[in-house]
Amino acid sequence: MNKENKEENTDNSFQFDKRVIHRFVQKGKISKSNFEKHLTGLIDLEDKSENITTKNYVEKKGNIDR
């Protein structure tokens, strides 16, 4: 990613970051309709993704009584 792309993405992308979007909607900084519009505009990249599997620590070590 070059500097131009990074600057372009930081202006708009952060506000739709899944870690902060609900806070922005609650505070009225982004409307639900704008969020939905953003989601429908995203490109589906499922065909370019790769499935990975991970093992849970408990599965490796056995069940742990809590």
Element (H, E) at 58: helix 57-61
d(CA 2, CA 43): 21
Q: 25: how many CB neighbours lie within 10 A of its CB? A: 14
Q: Report yes or no on whether pTM surpasses 0.75.
A: no
Mapped onto helix, strand or coil, the DSSP state of residue 15 is helix
Please count the CA atoms within 13 angstroms of the CA of 56 that sit on its side-chain side. 5
Task: Give residue limits of the domains in the chain.
Answer: 1-40
Q: What is the mean pLDDT of each run of 10 residues along the chain (66 residues)?
A: 43 83 93 93 93 71 56
